[in-house]
């Protein structure tokens, strides 16, 4: 406007363009909220060189950030307090996580702040939308159900072999604290209640230090009127086969409103709380890993870079969903795009990268994402005690957060670089080359990752036919821990060999294969860091002969067909000239199916095969 003096050029460059646009639209005496970033940066590099324990390191990070903010912000805070008394500043809130302040004031005060030598940049307090494409990445609810907890694990948990980590290695995330920054968490959900760090079985629940509401909604205890945060937390720690690390405990920061939006100042406050939940740096209460299923499609946005750098300095792993702007190159979102962030892409039920999953490279040329995880048809908890299936990279990231919890239990004090190495080097390689900007290093494999850092022993051997000494492929080997009763299972390869890691202890092992009598070995000792060899020789079961002919209805002509013995590995083909087939089967009763191209399927049930006998089953 003509009566508003222009902003001096040496000041103008310090003000973010989006904020300048807001200033142009301000009415007389109207106030605007903005974020003031100071030039001085906390010397966090020294923390990593100090050789401290994880807790001491976190304490040093917090005190270093706080002391830097106190000294560098002192004059600025005094000035703002003075401006408040004059009515030009409505409020100001200091932050040490990024060394800056959130200020609500008039246009003139903003320009005066930008002119100060200690000020580096002034940004708009942007409003971010979780459900818009690119912020929170628009996760769609596919189905919703209030069905009770499952007895078996969900497909996605089994796909990354998290259940094998629990059963074979005895590791479920116990002793590890996870967090999410999201829409909140329904803490009374049956899959999550007892995992909440503030939960007490006596009813004396403690919410301060375990729950933080950065929004203007005033939640004094964990809640979620949106659903997104409850779903992501379920995939991290949920009971009933929905969570990767069901033994871990959780805390949470609500940074998104129930209506799905957040302000940058809320997000900064959430990051700051994570570093020091109870306000006392000496308390060991920070999480070990933080899930962030949100971000901006603008990958070059560095608004939250100082916050993520502070988490890493404190040995807190920042996991971010890569975004849902795929399938094009260079679509990875921010903060997932940062070198300091561990970004996660989404795969489907066939281990194929989801079309919506954002791709690298980052704006700085790094390969993104680092890894991928299941992100379609993911069933998890939603507010009110129910369950729903969502899809998106928001659903993929919690798998990695849960895996990090398993790793930190397997090796307490594990560095972030070592945890990331365990996940990337043991991922199932997908795409070409490895790594690539679609899958990263591949889809995570929790079992191999945890095995690589754990104190497990190995049980291995070869399963053979007792008569011929030939290897038996596809045999099932089951090991049961005598003390915990946890069991693990694997199958033999084409050479009859098997191997799997187990927690130290004494095990009973059983081998089963079609056509053979099962065999067990008792009291096998598994020792840390040691491979125990246990071979098995299986004896054939008594067999009989199944034979028959497949012909065409009406003409009686022999058919080239396939006869399948259901619920067994036996598949036999007919002689196309005669239509006859024959095979040996262990004595028993079977159901059969015959198929031939262009003809209806033939079925036969209760076909009894006797020892040393022959049974004929024809199909027309």
Residue 34 near residue 103 (C-beta atoms within 8 A): yes
Residue 603 appears among annotated catalytic residues: no
For residue 303, give both structure tokens: 């608004």
Listed in order, strand segments (DSSP E) in 440-566 are: 457-465, 476-481, 487-491, 497-502, 505-512, 519-526, 531-533, 536-538, 543-549, 562-565
Asked if 181 and 267 touch (Cβ cutoff 8 Å), the reply is yes
CB neighbours of residue 13 within 10 Å? 10
Look at strands 32-38 and 119-124 and give their pairing: antiparallel
Q: Which residues pair with 343 in a beta bridge?
A: 320
Task: Tell me how far apart the terminal alpha carbons of the chain are, to the nearest angstrom.
Answer: 91
Q: How far apart are CA 505 and CA 479, in angstroms?
A: 11
Q: Which of 92, 207, 228, 268 is catalytic?
A: 228
| Catalytic residue check, 131 | no
User: Rounded CA gap, 137 and 371, in Å?
Assistant: 18
Distance CA 104, CA 102 (A): 7
Q: Is 225 exposed, middle or buried (0-12, 13-18, 19+ CB in 10 A)?
A: middle
- For the question of residue 228 being annotated catalytic, the response is yes
CB 119 within 8 A of CB 14: yes
Identify the H or E element spanning 364. Answer: none
Which residue blocks in 375-505 are alpha helix, DSSP H?
393-410, 416-425, 446-453
Burial bucket for residue 58 (CB in 10 Å: 0-12, 13-18, 19+) = buried
Give the H or E element holding residue 381: strand 378-382
Beta strand extents in 57-99 (DSSP E only) = 89-95
Asked if 369 and 362 touch (Cβ cutoff 8 Å), the reply is no
Comparing CA positions, the residue from 303, 312, 297, 182 lying closest to residue 234 is 182
Q: Among residues 182, 186, 438, 445, which one is catalytic?
A: 182
Rg (CA), the chain: 30
Q: Taking each helix axis as running N to C, give the angle between helix 393-410 and helix 162-169, from 0 to 180 degrees, rounded to the nearest 10.
A: 20
| Dist. CA 251–CA 286, nearest whole Å | 9
Residue 318 host element (H or E): strand 317-321
Tokens 């499609």 appear where?
297
Catalytic residue among 296, 358, 394, 596: 394
- Three-state secondary-structure class, residue 529: coil
Burial (CB count within 10 angstroms: exposed 0-12, middle 13-18, buried 19+), residue 476 = middle
Query: Looking at the annotation, which residues are catalytic?
Result: 182, 228, 394
């Amino acid at each position: 406007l003509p009566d508003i003096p222009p902003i001096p050029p040496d000041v103008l460059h310090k003000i973010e363009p989006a904020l300048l646009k807001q200033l142009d639209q301000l009415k007389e005496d109207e106030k605007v909220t903005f974020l003031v970033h100071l030039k001085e940066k906390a010397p966090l590099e020294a923390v990593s060189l100090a050789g401290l324990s994880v807790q001491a390191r976190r304490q040093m990070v917090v005190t270093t950030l706080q002391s830097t903010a106190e000294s560098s912000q002192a004059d600025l805070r005094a000035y703002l307090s003075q401006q408040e008394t004059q009515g030009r500043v409505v409020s100001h809130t200091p932050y040490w996580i990024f060394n800056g302040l959130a200020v609500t004031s008039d246009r003139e005060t903003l320009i005066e702040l930008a002119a100060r030598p200690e000020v580096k940049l002034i940004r708009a307090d942007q409003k971010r939308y979780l459900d818009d494409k690119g912020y929170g990445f628009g996760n769609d609810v596919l189905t919703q159900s209030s069905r009770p907890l499952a007895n078996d694990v969900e497909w996605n948990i089994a796909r990354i072999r998290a259940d094998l980590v629990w059963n074979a290695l005895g590791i479920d995330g116990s002793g590890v604290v996870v967090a999410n920054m999201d829409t909140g968490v329904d803490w009374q959900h049956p899959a999550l209640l007892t995992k909440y760090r503030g939960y007490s079985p006596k009813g004396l629940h403690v919410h301060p230090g375990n729950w933080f509401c950065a929004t203007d909604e005033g939640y004094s205890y964990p809640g979620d009127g949106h659903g997104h945060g409850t779903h992501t937390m379920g995939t991290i720690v949920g009971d009933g086969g929905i969570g990767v690390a069901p033994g871990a405990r959780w805390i949470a920061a609500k940074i998104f409103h129930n209506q799905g939006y957040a302000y940058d100042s809320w997000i900064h406050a959430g990051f700051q709380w994570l570093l020091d939940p109870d306000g006392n740096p000496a308390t060991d209460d920070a999480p070990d890993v933080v899930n962030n299923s949100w971000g901006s499609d603008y990958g070059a946005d560095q608004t939250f870079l100082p916050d993520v750098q502070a988490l890493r300095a404190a040995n807190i792993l920042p996991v971010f969903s890569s975004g849902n702007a795929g399938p094009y190159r260079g679509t990875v979102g921010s903060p997932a795009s940062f070198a300091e962030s561990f970004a996660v892409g989404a795969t489907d039920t066939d281990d194929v990268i989801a079309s919506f999953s954002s791709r690298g490279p980052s704006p700085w040329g790094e390969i993104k994402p680092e890894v991928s995880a299941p992100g379609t048809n993911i069933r998890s908890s939603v507010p009110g005690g129910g369950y729903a299936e969502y899809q998106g990279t928001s659903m993929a990231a919690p798998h990695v957060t849960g895996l990090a919890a398993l790793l930190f239990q397997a090796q307490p004090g594990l560095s972030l670089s070592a945890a990331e190495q365990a996940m990337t080097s043991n991922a199932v390689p997908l795409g070409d080359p490895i790594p690539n900007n679609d899958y990263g290093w591949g889809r995570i494999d929790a079992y191999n990752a945890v095995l690589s850092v754990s104190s497990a022993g190995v049980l291995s051997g070869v399963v053979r036919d007792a008569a011929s000494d030939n290897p038996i492929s596809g045999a099932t080997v089951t090991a049961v821990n005598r003390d915990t009763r946890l069991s693990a299972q694997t199958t033999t390869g084409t050479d009859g060999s098997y191997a799997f890691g187990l927690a130290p202890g004494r095990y009973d092992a059983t081998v089963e294969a079609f056509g053979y009598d099962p065999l067990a070995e008792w009291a096998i000792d598994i020792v840390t860091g040691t491979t125990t060899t246990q071979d098995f020789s299986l004896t054939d079961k008594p067999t009989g002969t199944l034979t028959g002919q497949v012909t065409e209805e009406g003409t009686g002509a022999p058919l080239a067909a396939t006869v399948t013995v259901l619920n067994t590995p036996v598949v036999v083909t007919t002689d196309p000239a005669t239509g006859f087939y024959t095979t040996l089967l262990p004595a028993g009763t079977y159901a059969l199916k015959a198929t031939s191209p262009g003809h209806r399927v033939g079925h036969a049930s209760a076909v009894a095969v006797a020892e040393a006998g022959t049974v004929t089953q024809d199909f027309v």
